[in-house]
Amino acid sequence: MSEQFADAFGAVYFITLGCAKNEVDTDRMRSLLLAAGYEEAPDVEEADLAIVNTCSFLASATEESIEATLALAEEAADGVRSLPIVMCGCVPSRYGADLPAELPEVAAFVRTDEEDGIVGVVDGLLGVTRAVPAHVPDVKRTVEGSVAFVKISDGCDRFCSFCAIPYIRGRYRSRPWSEIRDEVVDLVSEGVRELVLIGQDTGIWGRDLAEEGEGPHDLASLLRAVAEAVRPHDVWIRVLYLQPEGMTDDLISAIRDTPEVLPYIDIPVQHCSSRVLSAMNRSGSEEELDELFARLRREIPDMVIRTTYLVGFPGETDEEHERMLAFMDRTGFDYTSVFSFSPEEGTRAVKLDGQIDDDVKLERTQAAMDLAESLGFAATASHVGERAQVIVDGIEQTDEGYELIGHAWFQAPDSDGAVHLDAGEAAVGDILEVEFTDSFCYELVGHVVE
């Protein structure tokens, strides 16, 4: 054990890969370990044990997770010392039975549904003996910075034919309101200025919970309840990962009429062709999507929309691809993530006829990305000359000195670019009034309005 952490049971180093949901899971494990008497190591050299929280959404993500784990093991070996490595998250959940033989460098594997037992796993690996086993279910999350992602559900019931998430994280489970309420109140009391509500399918939150008492029972009432719980603090609330079918009349009203809730919606359409959507085991049509997005922009002032497009799904024709590009252009999405179809082991899409050659997928993906960037860069540039509030996320050193890095309400953290400001009298978490003076790609430059 390093001398720096001699008073603790041990020092734990964390690596998190993948999406924001994994960041939340790492926060949870970190909080449990800190409450149980461990310390967080700032780097691997100071660590007694390392935790790698992995992603397995795509084959490339699985490969990255394994490579990061092996690189960590090699780094420890180069230091001629023992460093137990715990692999957590999606890779163990997806491939758990095969991993011990394939990765002898890893001391323990922990699935997503086992992560609340991380203290016992670490105790065992480091030889910590307790008179009473550590059990801290109500521990507060340790979140640094101005933004906190809050998981309101886990798992998924959609079983889209291209996606392995239901096999990794299980069936859909809404998180109870009491847990969400307690967490957001704690986070805001610790200085968090933006709450980002996430899940695999946030729009159906609550449908698996019994309607008891006066608490929220769907996403619309949840947004209102979260806003009420964090008042009178000046807090932004953003919701991500909504499916088109989840946009009910009441939800549109809640986003429009609740001041704390930002007029920002993330709706992954994946495609606009009803035939392709049906093959994906999704619903909808181009006409229905046109109507939905026109309505959102009509009924919610300053609406900002992010989406996701899956290119090269088996059987996608040149005409269907061109129709999707035309749909993207016509809708004018502010932000678009583009993915090339990956035949994921265990999914139904792997066995579909009409698998598309990699060179065709690459060409289509590039065309979609070029259009997405053109639309996104233009949407970003449209804010030049405007004034808006910006949350300060950090301070970075530049060749000229220091600058503040933040994000505006129309930029989802870690996704949509940032705002760059000359460093002044500001701290992380401050909300500043900013005038935007220039843009480059998805980034904005501005100055603080006194």
Give binding residues as ranges.
19, 55, 90, 156, 160, 163
Which residue has 């990699």 as its token pair? 358
Joined together, the tokens standing for residue 246 give 């989840």
Helices (H), 190-257: 219-230, 249-257
Using DSSP's 3-state secondary structure scheme, residue 151 falls into: strand
| Residue 429 backbone dihedrals phi, psi, to 5 degrees | 100, -15
Residue of 34, 88, 240 whose CA lies nearest to 149: 240
Please enumerate, by residue number, every residue annotated as part of a binding site for [4Fe-4S] cluster: 19, 55, 90, 156, 160, 163
Max CA distance (Å), the chain: 68
Residue type, 448: V
Residue 85's closest CA among 39, 54, 117?
54
Q: Any bridge partners for residue 350, and if so which? A: none
Q: Note the Cα 314 to chain centre separation in Å.
A: 27
Tokens of 261: 């809730």
Taking alpha carbons only, the member of 333, 276, 293, 266 closest to residue 160 is: 276
Which residues lie closer than 8 Å to 207 by C-beta, 6 or more apart? Answer: 174, 218
Q: Taking a C-beta distance cutoff of 8 angstroms, is the pair 313, 341 a contact?
A: yes
Contact 250, 258 (CB under 8 A): no
Residue partners of 10: CB distance under 8 A and separation at least 6: 1, 38, 39, 48, 49, 122, 126, 128
